[in-house]
Amino acid sequence: MKYYIIAGEASGDLHAAHLMRALYAQDPACDVRFWGGDAMAAAGGTQVRHYRETAVMGAVEVLKKARPILQRLSFCRRDLLAWRPDVLILVDYPGFNLKIARFAHRHGLHVAWYIVPKMWAHKAWRVKALRRDVDALYSIFPFELPWLREHGLEPRYFGNPLVEQLAAMDFRPVGEGPVVALLAGSRELELEFLLPRFVALEKLMAADPHMAGFRLVLAGAPSLTEAQYRRYLPADSRIELVFGRTRDILHQARAALVCSGTASLEAALLGTPQAVCYGFHPLTFAIARLTVHVKYISLANLVLDRPAVPELIQNDATPQRMFRELEQLLRDDACRSRMSADYAELKQVLGGADASAGVAKDMYETFARI
């Protein structure tokens, strides 16, 4: 079978890479063509575009890049018709992928969607588009399932792929000494918001005798360059920027400040005490407050439906608040113990020892007989 896969950001690239390996195991003669990143490239297949060319987030940022987005959509449509896959697999990234799903459906291509868009948080109208244009829908979070079914969709769930990925990791130390991990996100606008606050936090920690001994290790996202990070880091900053070792950094860290997203779930599954920090352009945030309807922003809290990890959002994400949260995470044994118990429950709820293999098998069996 011929699979055409589109992932538009770092987390999607990672999940899609594991799915690709599972597809090759399930269907050894398959042919894969994809939009994605380095992880997918390492899994095999033919890369069409890197997600660095396509990643964009936020209303203001989308408007700024409208023309190149339209050009990429046009190219993708032509490429799909030229190659005509047996299955188009769309991995999250709804702003781009919903348009491609509509086009593919109109032209008689079969469509599978892996990692459901967060319609339960905002833009619920997407339900109609998924019902119309998608043949098989795969969720990776159990809390989504009741909402999706109530809205006329039939999601398939085989567990969360992060559980299997982290269980198979062989962790290596990132230098010596106690570490506080800093994860500032995978997009430029997230760096713009968080890195100046992390630099101010560094000064607060250096002035405190109980905190001065910790190394601040900043995990570089594969979607960004070193130059993009250095733009916000003063020459005298001792924050250590390390690429390609995010999970090693989280595994070693005594605590972490994590941009909301997949990294916050990774920290939880690795057992790292954390606070989730998030914010962006004031206009984008103002729009989000009107359109996003969700109780929590961190995946651990959403899965457990309670505030298992603290969340510092927009105006609350100050260096002073970050410092106070770190103090508690590092020095309060009762806090660490409560979070550890919540993490154990989280892992049990998610499941997913063979999530990627389950999805690949279901996709193959679903579409091979069509």
Diameter of the chain by CA atoms?
Answer: 66
24 with 133, same domain?
yes
- The predicted pLDDT at position 55 comes to 55
132 with 261, same domain?
no
The confidence band for 24, taking pLDDT boundaries of 50, 70 and 90, is very high
Residue burial 58-95, b: 16+ Cβ < 10 Å; e: rest? beebeeeeeeebeebeeebeeebeeeebbbbbbbbbbe
62 with 149, same domain?
yes
- The predicted pLDDT at position 360 comes to 98
The confidence band for 352, taking pLDDT boundaries of 50, 70 and 90, is confident
Residue 171 lies in a domain: no
Residue 151 lies in a domain: yes
Residue 67 lies in a domain: yes
What's the mean pLDDT in 207-231?
95
Residue 168 lies in a domain: no
198 with 307, same domain?
yes
214 with 112, same domain?
no
The confidence band for 293, taking pLDDT boundaries of 50, 70 and 90, is confident
200 with 333, same domain?
yes
| pLDDT tens-digit map of 148-193 | 999 999 999 999 999 999 999 999 999 999 999 999 998 888 999 9
143 with 259, same domain?
no
266 with 363, same domain?
no
189 with 83, same domain?
no
pLDDT at 58 over 60: no
154 with 193, same domain?
no
pLDDT at 59 over 50: no
pLDDT at 63 over 60: no
d(CA 20, CA 264): 24
> What CATH number is attached to the domain comprising 21?
3.40.50.2000
The overall average pLDDT reported for the chain is 93
User: With pLDDT > 70 as the criterion, what percentage of the chain qualifies?
Assistant: 95
114 with 244, same domain?
no
| pLDDT tens-digit map of 231-267 | 999 999 999 999 999 999 999 999 999 998 889 999 9
| pLDDT tens-digit map of 41-57 | 999 999 999 988 765 54
Residue 264 lies in a domain: yes
Please tell me the total count of domains within the chain.
2
What's the mean pLDDT in 295-319?
95
211 with 344, same domain?
yes
User: With pLDDT > 90 as the criterion, what percentage of the chain qualifies?
Assistant: 83
Residue 139 lies in a domain: yes
Residue 326 lies in a domain: yes
The confidence band for 65, taking pLDDT boundaries of 50, 70 and 90, is low
- Residue 23 belongs to what domain range? 2-158+354-368
Cα four-point dihedral sign 169, 164, 343, 267: positive
pLDDT at 69 over 90: no
- SS3 of residue 14 by DSSP: helix
Per DSSP, what are the bridge partners of residue 256? 181, 274
